[in-house]
Structure 1
């Protein structure tokens, strides 16, 4: 096997889990409130529109990944379809932008897990996940599976508690005069970012078994599951709080727990957000390292980063380089705004 070629170890289930880990991040724990401020009672329409746009984008990514099953995602597609220059620009934009996103997500983990020590927690999270990725993509898939299971359990508990313990009112789902087309479009734009991550499966195309069949199945399936989860959470929040109250809170899921009469479970949503952000961070680091590998192969980055570990079959030098840069950014960057979590009375 050539020293820069990755092994195909991921099946359909692994690919779906990685997609879920990328999408079901901390966004759903915070995005509902600004979306409700924009769309009011039209929040669910905004969610549906965001999902439709994400679906169109996702299916395009799936077709490209099936045709060009290599590591690198956008970089490879730009290079193959538009030419080397545009692939170069797309690759650098992805690496720079997503590296910054990694640092921001790491700080998000810190802010949810231990606000007073956010930077230290962020660096620790980056080091731990880099070690997981270094051990092999199958290990990354196993850890992602655990993270996704925990986050889904937290969100399922939230939905059950919201619909059975609180002052539920199905009439709050009715679309009223407080919404507009512009507001729905704005909410869709905000909620679209909660779906970001489906392309991570495509970025790992070189490590997926039978990519022509697996990737076109895995991406839409992961997106559909994510939409069902988001819709259940959004409906529960609207039924308990209504769009007006939802729009005024900075921690929507925690506020729903308090309105449902279970404020003692607020830490559960906070822990869920931290773990969800951890899953997104793991997938981001995977994506950046694979794009770094692809660009290093073409010598747009130092060729030494194109090396693949003979045992774990991962781009270990790219992994370490990305992890080091992200850890440094997380240690020195200012913290993003944190959610205000209500305390238990």
Structure 2
């Protein structure tokens, strides 16, 4: 059964913004400034350029292939089933790690000491339940969470720019080329949410027109928000941001507005929930597409007749995320997730590069720049993240090889 087309342009933009303006904007500045130093804005620009190139590839592909699954479906059509599988597998494993990180970030802001893990588990279960009752409910809740996040960020930026004339903060350390690239890799992780729009291509009204517009609008809005917030952090905290666990809350305290710090906690919690909700939704659609092709168990290809969502996939993914929250140390989750996401977009650029004729909306140079950017940023990630990511991708490839071998034997017998 196909999914219902219910999402408007506004819904799609909200889902994209909810994915990008998530926990990253509240937490990414400390690690990014710690490695990029005074080159943090250069790192932001690099991440934005790579994200823009990747976004145009996703938009071009989604306009021609308006089905669930994102680059998994696009690469299957444009390059071949194996490339599609690697893209889909990379997306699923990377974003499942992101889901766990978002849930734990939400709990860190919203739960008292000692209650973070139970609250994170409840958050995953609650949002998975929302997803199971229909995509329009998902879009409505995402709009509410994005509005809360933007309100908190607007207050922070206003306070930051308003106090810029106060005593100068300690300057950021000098930048190195490698440090700037590391910072760009971390910031790219925060930008990567526009893929969620493409993965829901089977549920968007007039996808050939809506999806490209929604991707560019959502990414443009996120770049503006990140640039303003980054400037405010630099102006008020300077080098102190690199050692802060909650830089935006510390910004308000340093600017003389400590009473507003709870507002940022609420906004950060809302943003984390918005990102988690959109992530769960996107992973469910990619899993559905892979299950339809037997690249994961076909049991997950079932679409609920009443609510017209892939409930089985949503429930299984939520269960896996809950297990990770309960047992895993997620300090390296961002690096591992970035590995999967960058590999996913590398294949998206390759698939878009092959398109010709009326399907081509953007010049091929954007796909070349996007692919090269993905390769450079992958090589800037911590070694352990790359090794673990490679091992999990190889495991997925081995599973598919075994499935194809067994299917061939059954046909031959």
Same structural fold, with TM-score higher than 0.5 when normalized by the shorter chain? yes
1:107, 1:336 within 8 Å by CA — same for their partners in 2?
A: no
1:342 aligned residue: none
1:25, 1:276 within 8 Å by CA — same for their partners in 2?
A: yes
1:51 aligned residue: 48
Q: Does 1:68 align with 2:65?
A: yes
Residue pairs, 1:1-345, within 5 angstroms: 3=1, 5-114=2-111, 115-164=113-162, 166-168=163-165, 178-242=174-238, 244-334=239-329, 336=331
Query: What is the CA distance between 1:335 and its match in structure 2?
Result: 5.6
Question: Deviation above 4 Å: which 4+ runs of structure 1?
Answer: 169-172
SS in 1 for 2:193: coil
Query: What is the CA distance between 1:74 and its match in structure 2?
Result: 2.0
d(CA) in 2 for partners of 1:324 and 1:185? Answer: 35
1:122, 1:331 within 8 Å by CA — same for their partners in 2?
A: no
TM-score, reference length from structure 1? 0.90
Query: What is the CA distance between 1:186 and its match in structure 2?
Result: 2.7
d(CA) in 2 for partners of 1:171 and 1:36? Answer: 17
Query: What is the CA distance between 1:254 and its match in structure 2?
Result: 1.6
d(CA) in 1 for partners of 2:323 and 2:289? Answer: 23
TM-score, reference length from structure 2? 0.75
Query: What is the CA distance between 1:170 and its match in structure 2?
Result: 11
d(CA) in 1 for partners of 2:146 and 2:224? Answer: 14
Q: Identify if the C-alpha distance between structure 1 residues 123 and 177 changes in structure 2 by more than 3 Å, giving closer, same or farther.
A: closer
2:168, 2:236 within 8 Å by CA — same for their partners in 1?
A: no
Give the stretch that moved more between structures: 66-75 or 19-28.
66-75
Query: What is the CA distance between 1:33 and its match in structure 2?
Result: 2.0
Query: What is the CA distance between 1:87 and its match in structure 2?
Result: 1.5
Query: What is the CA distance between 1:177 and its match in structure 2?
Result: 8.4
After superposition, the CA RMSD in angstroms is: 2.2
2:338 aligned residue: none
Count of aligned positions: 331
Give the stretch that moved more between structures: 305-314 or 122-131.
305-314
SS in 2 for 1:196: helix
Q: Identify if the C-alpha distance between structure 1 residues 131 and 328 changes in structure 2 by more than 3 Å, giving closer, same or farther.
A: same
d(CA) in 2 for partners of 1:246 and 1:27? Answer: 14
Query: What is the CA distance between 1:102 and its match in structure 2?
Result: 1.6
SS in 2 for 1:72: coil
Which runs of 5 or more residues in structure 1 are unaligned?
338-345
1:168, 1:240 within 8 Å by CA — same for their partners in 2?
A: no
d(CA) in 1 for partners of 2:132 and 2:282? Answer: 13
